[in-house]
């Protein structure tokens, strides 16, 4: 008599739809992990002969992908012209998820992220700035109290974006409660938030590099409140070896930094919540 093995049912039929059971969801997670390991092994085999072929999958948050990372990718492409670079953009939370699932060899974010399986390394510093339209009551102010932030209308990035997380963390340090902000519009991109404020809708906090063109053109004014610097982080999976292409990109970024560092190591000083 053949031994009896209980069957694990991976799907349920609900009407005309098919849904995963709990066993099916567990299997899907394991399958994704196996596929990610297989892809990493394939990359490693391709790279044994050197960086003469292959691909580098990069996922970056909007501010980084739009304003900081492109020049480094150009430098990488010139140094390694046969490596196919694939850049995808998402908010900070989406970048972290892509690295966890193995969909990205390396990620770049500007926000604090949670994940015990992620390593962060500081690759640059960025300055947040508070901006309003030329006709806004805050535009001509010489002084500004942090408590006044709660009385104004705000246009902010969506929850999960690094820019919003950094601004809310700064507000907490200034003694304000982010949940009390009067957020009248949430925008999915820096450009949309900037355009809304240029049109006269409230105030926003943006990277200085994002706001600079509009400030120079007189379309925005900087409110007199100093916001802190924030870090740009490279994100990698702690349990997976970085590809040689990812290491080469980090080396190029390090060489362009002040002082010309030779390599970028995991940041032991990163906020605990980000580790």
Domains of the chain listed by start with CATH number: 20-125+231-267 (3.40.190.10), 126-230 (3.40.190.10)
Alpha-carbon distances, residue 92 vs 100, 142, 165, 217, 232 (angstroms)? 13, 34, 9, 29, 11
Question: E strand or H helix at 106, and its extent?
Answer: strand 106-109
Condensed to tens digits (0 to 9), the pLDDT of residues 151-209 reads 899 999 999 888 998 899 999 988 889 999 999 999 999 999 999 999 999 999 999 99
| Among the listed residues 176, 171, 175, 182, the one whose alpha carbon sits nearest the alpha carbon of residue 128 | 171
C-beta atoms surrounding 39 within 10 Å? 16
Gap between the Cα atoms of 59 and 170, Å rounded = 25
pTM of the model: 0.71
* pLDDT number for residue 8: 47
Length in residues, the chain: 275
**DSSP conformational letter for 180:** G
Nearest to 271 by CA among 172, 188, 176, 156: 172
Q: What per-residue confidence (pLDDT) applies to 148?
A: 84
In the three-class reduction of DSSP (H, G, I as helix; E, B as strand; rest coil), residue 227 is classed as coil
Is the predicted pLDDT of residue 83 greater than 50, yes or no? yes
Residue-wise pLDDT for 230-269, tens only, equals 899 999 999 888 889 999 999 999 998 765 554 565 665 5
Contact 138, 144 (CB under 8 A): yes
Instruction: Write out the H or E segment, with its range, that includes residue 205.
Output: strand 203-207
Which segment of 131-135, 206-210, 225-229, 246-250 scores lowest on mean pLDDT? Answer: 225-229
Q: Can you name the residues that pair with 233 across neighbouring β-strands? A: 109, 122
Please tell me the number of Cα atoms within 13 Å of 163 on its side-chain side: 31
């Amino acid at each position: 008599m053949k031994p009896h093995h209980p069957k694990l049912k991976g799907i349920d039929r609900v009407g005309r739809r098919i849904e995963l059971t709990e066993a099916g969801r567990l299997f899907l997670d394991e399958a994704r992990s196996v596929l990610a390991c297989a892809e990493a092994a394939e990359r490693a085999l391709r790279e044994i002969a050197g960086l003469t072929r292959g691909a580098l999958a990069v996922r970056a948050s909007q501010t980084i992908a739009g304003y900081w990372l492109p020049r480094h990718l150009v430098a990488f492409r010139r140094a390694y012209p046969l490596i196919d670079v694939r850049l995808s953009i998402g908010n900070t939370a989406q970048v972290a998820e892509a690295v966890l699932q193995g969909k990205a060899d390396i990620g770049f974010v500007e926000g604090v992220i949670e994940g015990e399986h992620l390593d962060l390394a500081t690759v640059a510093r960025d300055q947040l700035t508070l901006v309003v339209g030329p006709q806004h009551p805050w535009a001509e102010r010489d002084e500004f109290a942090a408590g006044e932030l709660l009385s104004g209308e705000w246009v902010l990035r969506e929850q999960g974006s690094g820019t919003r997380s950094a601004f809310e963390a700064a507000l907490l340090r200034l003694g304000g409660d982010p949940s009390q902000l009067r957020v009248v519009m949430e925008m999915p991109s820096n450009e949309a938030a900037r355009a809304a404020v240029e049109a006269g809708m409230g105030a926003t906090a943006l990277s200085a590099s994002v706001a600079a063109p509009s400030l120079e053109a007189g379309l925005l004014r900087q409110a007199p409140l100093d916001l802190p610097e924030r870090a740009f982080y490279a994100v990698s999976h702690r349990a997976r070896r970085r590809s040689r292409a990812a290491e080469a990109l980090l080396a190029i970024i390090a060489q362009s930094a002040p002082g010309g560092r030779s390599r970028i190591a995991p940041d032991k000083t990163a906020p605990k919540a980000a580790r």
